Amino acid sequence: MFDLLIRDGLVVDGTSRVSGSARRADVAVQAGRIAAVEPLPPEARAHRELRASGLVVAPGFIDIHTHADIALLAHPTHEPKVMQGVTTEVFSNCGLGFAPVTDAGLAIQRDYLLGLFGDDAGVDWGWRTVAELLERYRQGIGTNVAYLIPHGSVRVSVMGMAQRPATPDEVAAMVRLVRQGMEQGAWGLSTGLWYAPMSAAERSEMVALCRAVAEYGGFYAIHMRDYADRIADALDEAIETSAASGCAVQVSHLQMNGAPNWGRAPEALAVIDRARAQGLDVTFDSYPYTAGSTLVQALLPAWVTEGGSRAILERLRDPDTRARVAAAVSADPRDWSRVVLCGARTARNQAAEGETFTRLAESRGVTVGELVCALLEEEDLQACFIAHQADERDVRAFLAHPAQMVGSDGLHLPGKTHPRLFGAFPRLLARYVREERLLSLEEAVYKMAGAPAARLGWRDRGCLRPGAAADIVVFDPAAIRDTATYDDPCRYPEGIPWVIVNGTVVKEGDRHTGALAGCVLAAGR
């Protein structure tokens, strides 16, 4: 007798991108693993049977680009992802995270970044190593997790928020931390070269760190220095770092930002295609939206961040320095009418969430630069923004590319957040498979399951085959859709009757079952 039997579903196994490869079959689960994927006789029995006629049975989605570090500790059931079919979270991304780290480094990261990670109520911040952090997740979580070493935590642990190139000794110290993290179960390294203090890192620093990662068979996820006018240069840097270090590279949330760059996706993809043709292991993730989101303090000139959060606030309280900061921010050529406030914590600014920076500045009678300074001071640096900066043509071009996989980049913010946190995966299936037919069902599932599993080197996740882990999502291809919007982002999707993690049903109908069936997927060394 099986533990679970899913009857008569349309099985999309996650490994084939060939349209029409889906097949009718039953999926049997035993002891957290898939026992059979085939038509089973009527007399086959299980402790629980799910009828999936007319439904798709697919491997649970693997979100290759997340910021779930603290959310999973504060709210282990992890509804925003589980309810949309995600069974595995891969973090930390963009170099933003919290291990390995020294006491001083953790204090800097926590103070500087917590606004990006949301509520930390009840979280014990006592870890320092990757092993200690991963042990926290083993206490019970709603999804599986895979960990990337964040460049930011390594850099601030060695040299604080210093906005300068690292010395050879400092690079060597960072390499030691990276090796320690890889030995303790990390799958790779992430960086955010657009963010301070990582933006001060020279290519030699990144090559040295990536060589250490390559020694353990890991990969390098890069939030590049630029996604606008100089995207080709940024891609070249990522690819050259990969070539020089021997480390596979994953370009994070590939997009084309700013109206002057709309329609340039083919140029960026041509750079990736050339690298792949030369035998380099280059892939990328993207999300099915034209807007991005991040911290308001990321808008500051790098020199303002020197010394960390307290130093930033002191500079903002000095009238002359504040005027310099405001002038520099106002000089940014971005279209502020397409930038809106989100993730605020004070009552005044929560009421203004969803409003553009242009209108907020006008309502206060200040420049946009002065508005940014005021928001940072009022929110103790913790506010975020959503920027509607990309074009649908480019989103479609990236989604259709064979080297692409889906990453939500979801931010667990108080108040309003980007709807990708609640809707990225069903949105792909509803809009780009069912409605627009940009992708076949098989291609889409591969991008959400098989491709990220391949990037991580997993043979027993992201697929439906006997012996694989029983991470499964069952959805109605005619009804699945995202309901989260920019105005109302914290809404669960429709058309997903069941989500199963390691053989346990964690979502049934429109409710989370409360089960904490996730596990830590630590790389074996």
When pLDDT is cut at 50, 70 and 90, the band that residue 58 belongs to is very high
Cβ neighbors of 188 (< 8 A, separation 6 or more) are: 148, 149, 213, 218, 219, 220, 221, 247, 250
When pLDDT is cut at 50, 70 and 90, the band that residue 118 belongs to is confident
Average of per-residue pLDDT values in the chain: 97
Average pLDDT of the segment spanning 55-71: 98
The predicted pLDDT at position 119 comes to 87
**CATH pick for 61-290+390-508 out of 3.20.20.140, 1.10.510.10, 2.120.10.30, 3.30.230.10:** 3.20.20.140
Cis peptide before 301 (omega within 30 of 0): no
Provide the phi-psi class of 30: left if phi over 0, else alpha when psi is between -120 and 50, else beta. beta
Q: Is the pLDDT of residue 525 over 70?
A: no
d(CA 224, CA 64): 16
Listed as own residue / partner, the contacts of 259-264 with beta carbons closer than 8 Å and 24 or more positions apart are 259/335, 259/391, 260/228, 260/229, 261/228, 261/229, 261/231, 262/390, 262/391, 262/393, 262/394, 263/391, 263/393, 263/394, 264/231, 264/394
Decide if 176 contacts 211 (C-beta within 8 A): no
pTM over 0.95: yes
When pLDDT is cut at 50, 70 and 90, the band that residue 114 belongs to is confident
d(CA 96, CA 195): 9
Q: Which residues pair with 90 in a beta bridge?
A: 146
pLDDT of 119-155, one tens digit each? 898 999 999 999 999 999 999 999 999 999 999 999 9
Q: Is the pLDDT of residue 312 over 80?
A: yes
User: Residue 380 burial (CB < 10 Å; 0-12/13-18/19+)?
Assistant: middle
pLDDT of 330-359, one tens digit each? 999 999 999 999 999 999 999 999 999 999
Q: Which is it for the CA torsion 70, 76, 80, 85, positive or negative?
A: positive
**Percentage, residues of the chain above pLDDT 70:** 100
CB atoms within 10 A of CB 269: 20
Q: Is the pLDDT of residue 451 over 70?
A: yes
Q: How far is CA 142 from CA 67, 145, 174, 329, in A?
A: 15, 9, 32, 40
d(CA 291, CA 368): 19
Cis peptide before 92 (omega within 30 of 0): yes
Q: Is the pLDDT of residue 515 over 90?
A: yes
Residue 277 has, within 13 A of its CA and on its CB side, a CA count of: 6
Decide if 438 contacts 399 (C-beta within 8 A): yes
Ranges in the chain annotated CATH 3.20.20.140: 61-290+390-508
Average pLDDT of the segment spanning 250-265: 97
Collapsed DSSP state (helix, strand, coil) of residue 33: strand
Bridging pattern class, strands 219-223 and 282-286: unpaired
Residue 246 has, within 13 A of its CA and on its CB side, a CA count of: 8
Find the helix or strand (DSSP H, E) in which 446 lies: none
Average pLDDT of the segment spanning 285-295: 97
pLDDT of 211-243, one tens digit each? 999 999 999 999 999 999 999 999 999 999 999
Cβ neighbors of 279 (< 8 A, separation 6 or more) are: none
The predicted pLDDT at position 35 comes to 98
Shortest CA distance to 500 belongs to which of 510, 515, 482, 480? 515
Average pLDDT of the segment spanning 497-516: 98
Decide if 150 contacts 112 (C-beta within 8 A): no
The predicted pLDDT at position 415 comes to 86
Cα 263 to its chain centre, rounded Å, is: 24
d(CA 230, CA 257): 10
When pLDDT is cut at 50, 70 and 90, the band that residue 409 belongs to is very high
Decide if 140 contacts 435 (C-beta within 8 A): no
**Token match 């050259």: residue?**
240
Where are the extended beta strands (E) located within 85-174?
86-91, 144-150
Average pLDDT of the segment spanning 493-500: 98
Q: Which residues pair with 270 in a beta bridge?
A: none
